[in-house]
C-alpha cells in the first residue's frame, strides 16, 4: 500500500486563501487507486490561518536575494502582516503527519508559499515567480521525504 501526503486543495477541499479548491484530476485518479492511501493536509489551515484569508507570498527576488524589507524566506500577507510563524507551524504539523504515517511521498500544489516546489511566487504580489520551495515543501525535503508538485505528477 502506497501512502501519499497530498495538498488538500488538490483533492477538492475548499481550503485555499479564496476558499476555493484546485482540484487535480490526476490526484482524484490516485484517490480511486485501491493500492494508494491519500493523506490530505492544508498546512496553512494547520498553522492556524482562517479560510478565506489574505493571500501571502515568501519574500524573494528573482535572483534569489532577500528583499530588504523582510527576513530571509519570511512569508508576508498582502496587507503586510508577517505570517511566517503560521507557515512554520503548519509545516511542522504536516511533516509530523508525514512521519507518523511513514509516507512514501508527497504531492503538493505548485506555486504555493506553503506547498510550492522549486518555483514559487516571488513576494512581489505581481504574479512573478522565483526559485524556491514553499515552507512545508522545504521542511518535508529537509526531513528526507520525496516531494512532487501536481504539475510533475
Ligand atoms: Fe492548498 Fe497547500 Fe495552499 Fe492549503 S496551503 S490551500 S493545501 S496549496
**3-state SS string for 33-47:** CCCEEEEEECHHHHC
What are residue 133's phi and psi, to 5 degrees?
-110, 155
Q: If you take atom 6 of ligand 1, which residue's CA is the nearest one?
A: 16
| Buried/exposed code over 79-103 (b: 16+ C-beta within 10 A; e: otherwise) | eeeebbebbbbbbbbbbebbeeeeb
Closest CA to 8 of 40, 55, 43: 40
**CA 119/CA 117 separation, integer angstroms:** 6
> Does residue 125 lie within any of the structural domains?
no
- Count of the separate structural domains present in the chain: 1
**Which CATH number goes with the domain that contains 39?**
3.40.50
**CA 31/CA 82 separation, integer angstroms:** 35
> Does residue 69 lie within any of the structural domains?
no
> Does residue 100 lie within any of the structural domains?
yes
User: Which three-class secondary structure state does DSSP give residue 120?
Assistant: strand
Q: Which of 93, 98, 112, 134 to mutate to test the pocket of ligand 1 (most atoms within 8 A of CB)?
A: 112
Q: Ligand 1 centroid vs 21 CA: distance in angstroms?
A: 9
The confidence band for 61, taking pLDDT boundaries of 50, 70 and 90, is low
Half-sphere exposure in the Cβ direction for 119 (13 Å, CA): 9
> Does residue 6 lie within any of the structural domains?
yes
Q: Are 76 and 82 in contact (CB under 8 A)?
A: yes
pLDDT at 69: 45
Strand-pairing partners, residue 4, are 38, 105
**CA 93/CA 82 separation, integer angstroms:** 19
> Does residue 92 lie within any of the structural domains?
yes
> Does residue 49 lie within any of the structural domains?
yes
Helix ranges restricted to H, 81-121: 84-101
Question: How large is the average pLDDT for residues 17-28?
Answer: 98
C-alpha cell at 152: 510533475
Asked if pLDDT for residue 111 goes beyond 70, the answer is yes
Where is average pLDDT lowest: 33-47, 55-69, 83-97? Answer: 55-69
pLDDT at 149: 98
> Does residue 74 lie within any of the structural domains?
no
> Does residue 15 lie within any of the structural domains?
yes
Ligand 1 pocket residues where CB is under 6 Å: 7-9, 15-16, 42-44, 109, 112, 114-115
The confidence band for 123, taking pLDDT boundaries of 50, 70 and 90, is confident
Q: Which domain holds residue 108?
A: 2-54+84-117+132-152
For 64-101, the pLDDT digits (tens) are 554 544 455 789 999 999 999 999 999 999 999 999 99
Amino acid at each position: 500500500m502506497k501512502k501519499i501526503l497530498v495538498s488538500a486543495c488538490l483533492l477538492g477541499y475548499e481550503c485555499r486563501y479564496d476558499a476555493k479548491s484546485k482540484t487535480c484530476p490526476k490526484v482524484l485518479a490516485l484517490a480511486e487507486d485501491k493500492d494508494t492511501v491519500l493523506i490530505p493536509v492544508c498546512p496553512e489551515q494547520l498553522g492556524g490561518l482562517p479560510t478565506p484569508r489574505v493571500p501571502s507570498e515568501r519574500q524573494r527576488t528573482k535572483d534569489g536575494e532577500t528583499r530588504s524589507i523582510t527576513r530571509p524566506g519570511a512569508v508576508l500577507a498582502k496587507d503586510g502582516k508577517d505570517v511566517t510563524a503560521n507557515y512554520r507551524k503548519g509545516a511542522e504539523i504536516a511533516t509530523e503527519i508525514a512521519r507518523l504515517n511513514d509516507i512514501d511521498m508527497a504531492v503538493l500544489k505548485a506555486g504555493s508559499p506553503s506547498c510550492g516546489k522549486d518555483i514559487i511566487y516571488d513576494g512581489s504580489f505581481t504574479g512573478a515567480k522565483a526559485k524556491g520551495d514553499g515552507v512545508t515543501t522545504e521542511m518535508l525535503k529537509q526531513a528526507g521525504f520525496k516531494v512532487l508538485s501536481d504539475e510533475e505528477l
